[in-house]
Structure 1
Amino acid sequence: MAQPLRLALLPSDTPRAQEAAAALEESGLFVPLEDADVAVVLGGDGHMLHVLHSMLDSGRVIPAYGINFGTLGFVMNRPKSSRSLHERIARAKPLAVTPLEMVATTGSGKQESFCAINEVSLLRETRQTARIEVSVNGKVRLRELTCDGILVATPAGSTAYNYSASGPILPLGSSMLALTPISPFRPRRWRGAIIPDHYEIDFRVLDPVKRPVAAVADQKELRDIMAVKIKVARQHQLTLLFDPGKTLEDRIFAEQFEF
C-alpha cells in the first residue's frame, strides 16, 4: 500500500488563515517543510507567491496546494469541500509554472539575479518618464521607449499587473511572454508584443541619472538600474496543484469572458 503524502502546513498571518490552520492542525498530520512531499498553503495569492519564492530561494521545491483564505485567490483552491485534505490533494491536477530569471545591472556595475513567477517590471523612480531601449534576442527592436515603465509577464502572471496595463492574457500552454509598456508616451502607437518564451529580452536605461529606473521581480525591487536581461528559468520549474475542473488554465481562459 502506498504511503500517504507528507504535508507541510504554511498559513499566512491573517486571522482567517490562522483559524483554518488551527482546525487542520488538530489532525496532527503535518510535518516540517523540509520533510514534506506537498506544501499546503493557506491564504491568498500574495502568500502563495511568498511561499513559492521561499522555496526557490532555499532550493527545496515541492508541489504547492493552495486553499483560499485571502481576497481573490486566483491561484488557490476553494476553502470548502466534502473531501478530506488528503483526498483533495490525491485527486488534484498538477500544473507546471516556469518563472522568469531577471539579471539586473545597477549604476555601480553590480549584477543581481532574481526569479519572477508573475512578471518583471521596469518602473520610473521620479516624475520624469523613463527612456528605455528594448532588444529581443540581441536585436534592438525599440531604440527609445518613453514611458512610465515596461514589463515582461509569464502566462501565469498575464492576468495580474500585465492585464491592468492593458497587456494580453496568455494561455498557459502558449509558450509565450507578454511584453507590455506602462503608460507609453513615445512611440505613441506601440502597445506591446507577444514573444516566444525561448527568446531573451534586454532593457537598457538610456538616461539613468536624470531619469532613474527601478526593476521589480514580483515582490523584490532594485533601484538605480542600468540594464536588465530577462529569460525563462526552466531549471526552476514549479508545480501548483488544483482541484479537478478548477485549474489555473480554466481560470485564465474564463478571465477573457468576464467583465
Structure 2
Amino acid sequence: MSEDIALAFVASQTPEAEAARLALAKRYGEVSPDHADVIVALGGDGLMLQTLHAQMGRGKPIYGMNRGSVGFLMNEYREDDLRERLAAAQRSVIHPLQMKASDEKGRQTIRRAINDVHLFRRSYQAAKLRISVDGKVRMEELICDGVIVSTPAGSTAYNLSANGPILPLNAPLLAVTPISPFRPRRWRGALLPDRARVTIAVLEAAKRPVGAVADHAEVDEVLGVEVGMDHSVDMILLHDPGHSLDERILNEQFGW
C-alpha cells in the first residue's frame, strides 16, 4: 500500500487500546476518519461494530486489530509492517439489516444492524409472536422468550448462542432463530433468502410486552417490526490472508 494512503486510528476506552492508538499514530501518521482512506480500529468486536455504524454508507475500508477479548472480527495486533498488511489484506463486503419498529404510541423507529435484530420479552410472561415472510403468515403463533433475525456476519454472535445456524459470509441468506421456544416446541428456526422481508407482530402486547434491538439500539414496547437486508449499503472489512471472515466462520463450524 502506498505511503500516501491516509490512515485514521480509532480505539476503545481501554488503556491497551489507547496505548496502541498512540503508538501506531506516531509511527504511521494519522488523519481524522473523515479524511482517511483506511480506518484502523483498535479494540474488540464491540468497537468494530461501533466503527462500522459510524462509517455506514461511506464505503471506507476498516481494518481491525484486537485489543479486546474475543476479537472475532479483528486481526492480530502487531505494530510492525502495517502498510504491508493493509496492501495484502482481503476484502469482505457486508450489508446491514434495516429494522422498522412500531410501538404502542404509533411511532415508527428505523435502525440498522450489522449483526442482528432481535425481539425479547420484557416481563415474566413469554412473548407471543406472529411471523410473516414477504407478506405471508408463516407462523401464526410462536410462544418464546424472543426471536433473532441474523445476517451471515452476525450468525456467530447472539444467533449462535441461541443454537442458530452459522452462515458462510457470502451466503445470500438470513437466519431466523427462536430464543427459548415453548410452542411449537420443536421449531428451531428458518433460513430465508436475504431479499426476504420478515415481519414479526407482537400478540397480546399489553399483557406480554416485547422490546426490539438492532445491534445496540433498543426500542421498548413494540407492536411489531419489519426486517430486511439493505443491499444499498456496502461495508468493507479488511482481514489478513488466512484470517478472513469466511475462514473464521468455517473454523467455527468445525468447532475451532
User: TM (normalized to structure 1)?
Assistant: 0.96
What does the per-residue CA deviation read over 1:170-211, in whole Å, with 9 as the maximum and x for residues that have no partner? 011211111000000111111100111011100000111010
What does the per-residue CA deviation read over 1:104-127, in whole Å, with 9 as the maximum and x for residues that have no partner? 011111111111100000000111
Aligned to 2:147: 150
| Structure 2 Cα separation of the partners of residues 75 and 252 of structure 1 | 10
Deviation at 1:227, TM superposition (A): 1.1
Residues 215 and 222, structure 1, Cα contact 8 Å, conserved in 2 = yes
SS at match of 1:65: strand
Q: How does 1:70-219 map to 2 (within 5 A)?
A: 70-80=68-78, 83-219=80-216
Q: How does 1:17-56 map to 2 (within 5 A)?
A: 17-27=17-27, 29-56=29-56
| Structure 1 Cα separation of the partners of residues 10 and 98 of structure 2 | 25
| Aligned-CA RMSD value | 1.4
Aligned to 2:15: 15
Letter in 1 for 2:150: A
Letter in 2 for 1:19: A
Structure 1 stretches of 5 or more lacking a match? none
* Seq. identity, %: 48
Show structure 1 runs of 4+ deviating over 2 A.
Answer: 1-4
Structure 2 stretches of 5 or more lacking a match? none
Deviation at 1:256, TM superposition (A): 1.0
Deviation at 1:28, TM superposition (A): 5.3
Deviation at 1:4, TM superposition (A): 2.6
SS at match of 1:173: coil
What does the per-residue CA deviation read over 1:140-198, in whole Å, with 9 as the maximum and x for residues that have no partner? 00011000000101000001100000000001121111100000011111110011101
Deviation at 1:19, TM superposition (A): 1.1
Residues 200 and 230, structure 1, Cα contact 8 Å, conserved in 2 = yes
User: TM (normalized to structure 2)?
Assistant: 0.97
| Structure 2 Cα separation of the partners of residues 40 and 226 of structure 1 | 39
